[in-house]
Amino acid sequence: MNVRCDGVLEWKRLHSSMVEVSLLGSGNAFLPSGRLHSFLMIDKHIIVDCPPTALASLRKAKISPADIDTILITHVHGDHVFGFPFFLLERKYISDREGVKPLTVAGSAMVKDRLVELCKLAYPGSLDELLEQINWVDNPTIDGWELERFEVFHEPSVEPHGWMLTSDEGWSMLHSGDSGPCDELWNRIKKCKFAVVEMGVPEWVNTDEHHKPSDIQKLAEDCKDTTLVLTHTYIDSDYLILTKDFPELPENVIHGEDGMEFILDENGNLC
């Protein structure tokens, strides 16, 4: 499914203020049928996290890893970062053999240490030079955007954060990372035109570190002017493993599927 304006690619060429958001993967850690791990791309050069299925998602979307210049890390659970060694390996041996494409990785203080450790475990010695060339930052500088990394409510040992991006045009969009309901996240969502929010567990799971359908129901009612796209879902898209039943949610909620594309206009509205 694609959510986009008619003739949007031509429009985007003529109107640089339009933003293209691609949901390359929509599943949680357990990979519900028909889904890859939750994975977001913005304007074909910014990605949020680098999950184990990141390279597969990029291949499916026909996006070269060398064209990605910024990675925003939400936290260091395996289903969000364990694809990083493969992403770098591909750049080294296939898409950026000359090593001329810059790469910025943004995240918490733990991010660099954890990702470096992963690469050394996966391919000892092979990625050391690339790791030294990466621009490791807390908050990156990206043309057209002001970025804010903020704490959310999830397992504290992985330093969970969400990302809020405010356009030079004055509107904001957000990615929740993995989080249960919390004021830090919900107050920002209310300020956004567009938000990608996790709904990682069904109602019967005993946890408050992920959103459940009832949480999304309340959030959508509180944020009627925000388009909410659900990711990190537990719901099967293809054959039945756990459930294929989608909860009934307000009209401003879109349940994400792999490959969905969204075009936001100069005011942050969904085309």
Residue 92 lies in a domain: yes
Please tell me whether residue 54 adopts helix, strand or coil conformation. Answer: helix
Residue 12 lies in a domain: no
What are 203-255's pLDDT values in tens digits? 999 999 999 999 999 999 999 999 999 999 999 999 999 999 999 999 999 99
Residue 10 lies in a domain: no
Residue 5 lies in a domain: no
Burial environment of residue 131 by CB neighbours within 10 A (0 to 12, 13 to 18, 19 or more): middle
What are 165-192's pLDDT values in tens digits? 999 999 999 999 999 999 999 999 999 9
**What tokens appear for 107 in the block?**
């995240």
Residue 216 lies in a domain: yes
CATH code at position 168: 3.60.15.10
Residue 13 lies in a domain: no
Mean pLDDT of 27-44: 98
Confidence of residue 16 (pLDDT cuts 50, 70, 90): low
Alpha helices in 42-127 (DSSP H): 54-60, 78-81, 84-90, 109-122
Residues 237 and 256 sit within 8 Å (Cβ to Cβ): no
DSSP 238: S
Report which of residues 7 and 19 the model is more confident about. Answer: 19
Helices then strands (H, E): number in the chain?
8, 13
Residue 6 lies in a domain: no
Structural domain total, the chain: 1
Residue 91 lies in a domain: yes
Provide the residue range defining the domain that includes 102. Answer: 18-264
